[in-house]
Amino acid sequence: MTNWQRRIRQLDQAPFITVGLIAIMVLVYLAMTLAGGSTNINVLITFGAKVNALIQQGQWWRLITPIFLHIGFTHILMNMITLYFVGIQLEAAFGHLRYLGIFLLAGVGGNIASFCFSDSLSAGASTAIFGLFGAFLMLGESFWQNAVIRQLANTFLAFIVMNLAFDLFTPGIDLAGHIGGLVAGFLAAYLMGVPRIGKVNLVKRLIATVVLIGGFVWLVLHGMAQ
């Protein structure tokens, strides 16, 4: 193996998408802090938090930008720790671009669900992170015969149940966004496929694609009609 090939292989194995996402979010958090504080409502709105009325006025980018915003130090700290340890595993399993696709689709899906079912201002990578949990469930369903994947999927299923139960009794948590992100991540994982592990049933991939796109369209139209 040449030095060039070795470098390419090392780059392929490095979780640079996960690290890059974390770096972007930390930089945005610092910028928000300098602008007046990440808990300041005006700062959050300026930087792109999800505000239903503004989305209904045509600011569709607010379905994407909330993924990269956080409200307070504890919020970003917990999300970045979770993103790192979950992300490096899924980036290795799906590959860089597929992993990024799942992350973004889940984040947008969670924000669309929040737009449809919650009137509250919201921000955070939690929608996308729950989507990564959903991707683990997809791996468990598709590769149940793999003992390691099955154990990971069961662990994350228990983790998801505990988190959603916690959400139910915690004021201010965007439950709709978390559930929307979870479902979108599960479906997006089928859409992307995971050739590094094995083939995913084509019929399941087609069904997941139709449900994901159809769900996005229906939720957006429903949210706009409110």
Catalytic residues: 126, 178
Nearest to 133 by CA among 112, 156, 110, 111: 156
Distance, CA of 106 to CA of 215 (rounded, Å): 12
Alpha-helical (H) ranges within 118-174 are 126-142, 147-168
Nearest to 102 by CA among 204, 207, 18: 18
- Residues 224 and 136: their CA atoms lie apart, in Å, by 32
How many residues can be counted in the chain? Answer: 226
- Best CA proximity match to 62, nearest among 111, 6, 109, 28: 111
Sign of CA dihedral 35, 37, 40, 43: positive
